[in-house]
């Protein structure tokens, strides 16, 4: 599938034990299939190596994603759409992703974060672990940027299976439930929808 107007999509995420990293890769691949140019970027890790090494899954994910470039403000300026990914932390955005967002004041002051599409995805250890509140908190940033939020909504029959209209999410049950086909389908639906509407918005703004 190609889009009428080419778009740049930045998938910027933080992942500790790998759930968000897996979803980020799925979203990036689906966005490329939909015709977008994609940058997959991770937020800088703030935790000390000793803390990471204390959790085998955390250490394994750090090693497995060592080749993924860290996000920089330039990725935000380049992008027509940004899809942020974060695990829920007390029903809120992870410190690592929030720290990256907090470096964007210069671009925000110049209006360079406005008029872009924003969307988000998340994960939690438990079924009611704060997925919706995390995505809503994340979207607060887009309001301040002057961005355009494109959520998946209940726009496909599959969305009634994963059940989250705010963004892709997954319950990993503290590592006992790896990312499954339901979450991967949700990720693909969201990525295609973001590319579709970013293309339309960009074409309209350029008309």
pLDDT tens string 88-97: 999 999 999 9
Query: What residue ranges do the domains of the chain occupy?
Result: 8-206
* Pair 153, 165: CB distance under 8 Å: yes
Give the per-residue pLDDT at 4.
Answer: 62
Q: From CA 73, how far away is CA 65, in angstroms rounded?
A: 20
Q: What is the mean pLDDT of residues 174-201?
A: 96
Q: Which of the four CATH numbers 3.90.76.10, 3.40.50.300, 3.40.50.360, 3.40.50.720 does domain 8-206 have?
A: 3.40.50.360
Percent of the chain with pLDDT over 90: 95
Residue recorded with tokens 């080419």:
6
Q: What is the mean pLDDT of residues 41-55?
A: 96
Give the per-residue pLDDT at 85.
Answer: 98
Give the per-residue pLDDT at 5.
Answer: 82
Q: From CA 111, how far away is CA 15, in angstroms rounded?
A: 29
Kindly write down the DSSP assignment for every residue of 57-116, as one continuous string. HHHHHHHHTTTSPBP-HHHHHH-SEEEEEEE-BTTB--HHHHHHHGGGHHHHHTTTTTT-
pLDDT tens string 161-170: 999 999 999 9
What Cα–Cα distance (Å) separates residue 205 from each residue in 36, 71, 76? 18, 26, 18
Mean pLDDT of the chain: 96
Q: From CA 113, how far away is CA 111, in angstroms rounded?
A: 6
Does the pLDDT at position 20 exceed 60? yes
Q: What angle do CA 136, 140, 131 make, to 5 degrees?
A: 20
Give the per-residue pLDDT at 1.
Answer: 43
* Nearest Cα residue to 194 out of 136, 141, 161, 155: 155
* Band of pLDDT at residue 132, cut at 50, 70 and 90: very high
* Band of pLDDT at residue 2, cut at 50, 70 and 90: very low
Give the per-residue pLDDT at 3.
Answer: 46
């Amino acid at each position: 599938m190609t889009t009428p107007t080419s778009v740049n999509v930045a998938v910027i995420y933080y992942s500790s034990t790998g759930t968000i990293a897996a979803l980020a890769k799925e979203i990036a691949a689906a966005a490329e299939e939909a015709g977008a140019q994609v940058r997959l970027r991770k937020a800088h890790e703030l935790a000390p190596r000793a803390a990471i090494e204390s959790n085998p899954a955390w250490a394994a994910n750090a090693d497995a994603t060592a080749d993924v470039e860290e996000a920089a403000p330039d990725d935000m300026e380049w992008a027509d759409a940004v899809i942020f990914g974060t695990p829920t932390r007390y029903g809120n955005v992870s410190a690592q992703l929030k720290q990256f967002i907090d470096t964007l004041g210069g671009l925000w002051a110049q209006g360079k974060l406005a008029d872009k599409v924003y969307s988000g995805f998340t994960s939690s250890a438990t079924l009611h672990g704060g997925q919706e509140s995390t995505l809503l908190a994340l979207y607060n940033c887009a309001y301040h940027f002057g961005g355009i939020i494109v959520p998946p909504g209940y726009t496909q029959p599959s969305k009634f299976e994963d059940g989250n209209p705010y963004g892709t999410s997954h319950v990993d049950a503290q590592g006992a439930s790896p990312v499954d086909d339901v979450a991967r389908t949700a990720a693909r639906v969201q990525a295609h929808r973001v590319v579709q509407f970013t293309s339309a918005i960009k074409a309209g703004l350029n008309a």
